[in-house]
């Protein structure tokens, strides 16, 4: 077992959506306080758990319990589902309330917040980031995924605000991807089974990493840091090799990409360990991870949803990997306190 536990993706949720109303303007409370919304938002968070295996049990309320040697990055997971919402104005009111609730109820000495922003209104999101960054409770900015790729200029207002405050971006699927209109689809088409969608979520990370690389996001924002949480990581070396090869062949199509894309992965991108089931049998793959690449992987439990534990991590990956991932996680959570690109990049 490792000395410290750093969980860069612990989910926390409200038990009753009515609990958010106190953080909303009165008229918006009235707008949301009806079955049409309360019923459907509950269902929208329950979209993927449609089999016995993934059945929806009431999620235990998150209660912060400070423990020595333990740190958690809290993702208000119910905010992620706004990527499937039709009402984008209402989604901002909802997110604002959820973030406020999270700051008041889930943050403690050992837990900090991944502030969930609106993917539909980057300018509004940038204002939100700037207003909350100074509170000291926020360690990252969580972007729900939509079909706008993360490498495009659409996201620049959010990235500007993040870079201004040394806040890394974290992204994680809400579960409605490949299912609800408004959220990104998965490659190839529409899958019938929620299990297909679940196992193919890494598509979203691969697509967005390629977009970030080839659309020059890390040249516009050289210090921007992005964690793809919950997508696994074993597939990363093959993506890096493929991107580098295509860059060598077709560099003139993307002349703003001045370095092999893999170098930007090593300086700007983070991946997480969940689902640990993806990375069994390390001796069959870990030679693909050199020292620099290993520095970019962090642990996330995905708790309370079929979560990975530190003990499981150590059992599956061994104590050396496990300890490294925890140390990497501490570096990730400390990015907000880090000045300048040199300190945040591996050398």
Partner 1 sequence: MPATTTETSPTQPTAHNIGKLADFPERKVMPADAGGRTIGVLRHGEEIFAFSNRCPHQGAPMCRGQAAGTMLPSEPDEYHFAMDGLVVKCPWHAYEFNVQTGESVCGIMRAKLPVYKTEIRDEDVFVIMGRAQG
Q: Which residues bind partner 1 (CB under 8 A)?
A: 153, 215-217, 219-220, 247-253, 255-256, 258
Which residues on neighbouring strands pair with residue 73, listed in sequence order?
112
Question: Looking at beta carbons only, is 255 or 340 nearer to partner 1?
Answer: 255
CB of 215 to partner 1, least distance (A): 7
Q: Burial level of 192, CB count in 10 A (0-12/13-18/19+)?
A: exposed
Torsion-angle region of 263 (φ positive above 0: left; ψ -120 to 50: alpha; else: beta): alpha
Kindly state the smallest distance separating residue 171's Cβ from partner 1, in Å: 21
Q: Which of 142, 148, 17 is nearest to 90 (CA)?
A: 17
Q: Minimum Å distance from CB 132 to partner 1? A: 28
- In the chain, where do the E strands start and end? 5-12, 70-76, 111-116, 138-142, 169-171, 226-228, 269-272, 297-298
CB of 207 to partner 1, least distance (A): 18
Q: Which residues pair with 115 in a beta bridge?
A: 141
Give whichever of 16 and 258 is closer to partner 1, judged by the CB atom.
258
Question: CB of 48: closest distance to partner 1 in angstroms?
Answer: 36
Our CB check for partner 1 shows the closer of 58 and 255 to be 255
Smallest distance from partner 1 to CB 161, Å: 19
Nearest CB to partner 1, comparing residues 219 and 285: 219
Output the six-digit token pair for 105.
């109820």
Task: Tell me if 314 sits within 8 A of 276, measured CB to CB.
Answer: no
Nearer to partner 1, 4 or 254 (CB): 254
Kindly tell me which of 19 and 156 has the beta carbon lying closer to partner 1. 156
Q: CB under 8 Å to 161, separation ≥6 — which residues?
A: 125, 126, 127, 129, 130, 133, 141, 167
CB of 260 to partner 1, least distance (A): 8
The residue among 178 and 260 lying less far from partner 1, judged by its C-beta, is 260
Beta-bridge partners for 5: 70
* CA atoms of 122 and 104, how far apart (whole Å): 24
């Amino acid at each position: 077992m490792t000395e410290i536990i750093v969980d860069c993706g612990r989910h926390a949720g409200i038990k009753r959506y009515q609990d958010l109303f106190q953080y909303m303007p009165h008229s918006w409370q009235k707008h949301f306080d009806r079955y049409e919304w309360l019923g459907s938002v509950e269902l929208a968070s329950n979209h993927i758990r449609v089999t016995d295996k993934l059945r929806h049990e009431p999620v235990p309320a998150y209660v912060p319990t400070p423990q020595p040697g333990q740190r958690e990055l809290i993702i208000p997971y119910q905010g992620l589902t706004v990527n499937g919402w039709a009402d984008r104005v209402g989604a901002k009111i909802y997110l604002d309330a959820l973030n406020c609730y999270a700051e008041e109820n889930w943050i403690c000495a050992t837990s900090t917040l991944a502030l969930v922003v609106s993917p539909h209104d980057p300018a509004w999101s940038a204002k939100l980031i700037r207003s909350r960054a100074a509170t000291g409770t926020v360690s990252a900015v969580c972007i729900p995924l939509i079909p706008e790729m993360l490498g495009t200029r659409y996201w620049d207002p959010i990235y500007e605000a993040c870079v201004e405050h040394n806040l890394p971006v974290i992204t994680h699927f809400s579960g409605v991807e490949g299912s609800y209109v408004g959220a990104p689809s998965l490659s190839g088409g529409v899958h019938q089974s929620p299990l297909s969608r679940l196992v193919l979520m890494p598509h979203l990370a691969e697509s967005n990493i390629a977009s970030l690389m080839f659309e020059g996001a890390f040249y516009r924002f050289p210090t921007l840091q992005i964690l793809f949480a919950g997508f696994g990581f074993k597939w990363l070396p093959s993506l890096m090799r493929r991107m580098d090869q295509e860059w060598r062949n077709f560099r003139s199509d993307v002349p703003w990409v001045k370095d092999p894309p893999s170098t930007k992965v090593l300086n700007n991108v983070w991946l997480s360990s969940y689902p640990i089931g993806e990375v069994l049998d390390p001796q069959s793959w870990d030679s693909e991870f050199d020292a620099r690449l290993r520095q970019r992987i962090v642990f996330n439990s995905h708790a309370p949803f079929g979560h990975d534990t530190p003990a499981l991590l150590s059992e599956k990956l061994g104590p050396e990997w496990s300890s490294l991932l925890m140390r990497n996680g501490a570096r990730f959570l400390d990015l907000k306190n880090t000045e300048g690109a040199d300190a945040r990049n591996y050398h």
